[in-house]
Amino acid sequence: MNRRAFLSLSAVTPLASRLPALADQPRRDPNELAADLAVIGGGVGGVACALAAARNGLRVVVTEEYPWVGGQLTSQAVPPDEYPTIEAFPPTKLYSTFRSKVRDFLRHNYPLTEAASKNAALNPGNGSVSKLCHEPRVALAVLLELLAPYLSSGRVRLLQPYVPVAADTARDVVKAVTARNTATGRTITLTAPYFVDATELGDLLPLAGVEFVTGAESRRETGEPHAPDRADPANHQACTVCFAVDHVAGEDHTIPEPRSYRLWRDYVPRLTPPWPGNLLSWEMSDPVTLKSRAVGFDPTGPPPKGGLNLWTYRRIVDRANFAPDAGIGDICLVNWPQNDYWVQPLFGGRPDQREQAVAAAKELSLSLLYWMQTEAPRTDGQRGWKGLRLRPDVVGTDDGLAMAPYVRESRRIKAMFTVTENHVGTDARAAATGKKPGEFTAEPFPDSVGVGSYRIDLHPSTAADNYIDVSSLPFQIPLGCLIPQRAENLLPTCKNIGVTHITNGCYRLHPVEWAVGEAVGELAAFCRAKGRLPRQVRRDAGLLKDFRAGLAKAGVALEWPADVAMKPR
């Protein structure tokens, strides 16, 4: 039977005839595990996917590489990057619940001041980058609380620390995935009607033979104004190994000089357009204008007047929120341009490339800390703050660095539909519509399964590109960008969706990844109940209508209010 005839037949044939039912997968030995849905990766999207599937009655197994689930929020130690209207219009009801529970956790377990306790919009760290800057352990506690009833019932089973190492695929259907315990070496084979790649780098895609794209597409391929003339699969955004510090006046917490400190201290980025000077300095490229931008830093006194203050930028604990006698001081999360690592990609080269890149990124972060402790210029004319103290307890590691690198770019599926800058970029949409700002929205998608909003924000890259930071409009998440062109039962839930190198810059943030994960979990449950494939749901108007109605009932926003939709970021 040719492929066209097969697809035509599959449009009317129940899914059960193609994907084995759970009952047909007896557990033959302890190294095999069957479920309704196997989620490979327990980051933001993976957890949201598992929660959505479990609330619909599916039995879910989740594998996670690190001791903490939560990805960007926890093991990568990045406070949520969110849009300004997040309080009034969250992407999903469940994400709003997560945010509320973060604040409740602080109220129930921390000695807050009376004012902080009564503040409905409590920002634990009062960091300027987010309305909810908080410690990674708090996010972990809340995610485990959300998962708790499903873990107790056995509806969700969490396997840690496991990574995917092989996949069994036949006729565009993933039959099984083998995962290995990184601590013991034990392997386990997972079987399920549906599989989700929720890994940070899209690691399941090559194992399952799913077509994917990496790096930057060319302008000829995508028609995007900010795409390069030539495609470059190795052009990836910088990753960052974050860390947390506090400051103890009068004490010396200087770390040993890192091995590569002198290299990084003298390193001048060779980017296009140019970086203004040394990477380790209080001067950087302005992400939007690319002109030289001075930033401030001082953990000992009032914040510098004007400009960006790095001490409060991603501060996750603000002592002003806590009782004076609690002994709780400021904690600053360091995820800055100064420790962005763009010398080499995390994947795509040698088998050990990820390990080498992460090791080098760690050296950069430690070098930044050592520079701040010993040589960084201060406004009082002195150099360095010896009282800066690395906080391994905050990030849950021995070395004081986050468990995992903050990943900004992944392998991306070749999808049924790919979102480009022309769909969401403010200037691109203005050119396409011929209208003025405030008179148009991002491209509306009839198959929208969620919403998101963020500027197109690309950090310096491995191809020596400086920032690309341009305005975008509040956008939708089309179902078509979540479905591979060929694979039938594998879905993405992280930064591996059908976007480009450019639009990854606005689809990669915490709330969007959550919305993608929740939509995919709902999709797996819907397909399981209806006996249909994901692509059939998108192609059948009746199925799509029913699926979108179910999403709306579950509290998933499918479109923006008119007054918000036309406000560019």
Tokens representing 377 are 């210029």
pLDDT score, position 16: 44
CA-CA distance, 247 to 329, in Å (whole number)?
8
CA-CA distance, 140 to 98, in Å (whole number)?
11
Q: Model-level pTM greater than 0.85? A: yes
End-to-end CA distance of the chain: 50
Burial zone of 386 (CB within 10 Å; 0-12 exposed, 13-18 middle, 19+ buried): middle
Torsion angle of C-alpha atoms 221, 226, 232, 236, degrees rounded to 10: -130
pLDDT score, position 6: 31
Give the chain's domains with CATH numbers: 3-119+132-215+483-557 (3.50.50.60), 239-395 (no CATH)
Torsion angle of C-alpha atoms 214, 218, 222, 224, degrees rounded to 10: 110
Identify the segments of the chain with pLDDT beneath 50.
1-14, 16, 22-25
User: Using the 8-state DSSP alphabet, how is residue 258 labeled?
Assistant: P
pLDDT score, position 22: 46
pLDDT score, position 13: 42
pLDDT score, position 386: 98
User: Beta partners for 239?
Assistant: 341
pLDDT score, position 307: 76
pLDDT score, position 2: 39
SS3 of 207-225: the string is HHCCCEECCECCHHHHCCC
Q: Report in angstroms the alpha-carbon separations of 280 from 270, 339, 366.
A: 14, 8, 11
Are the C-beta atoms of residues 418 and 549 closer than 8 Å to each other? no
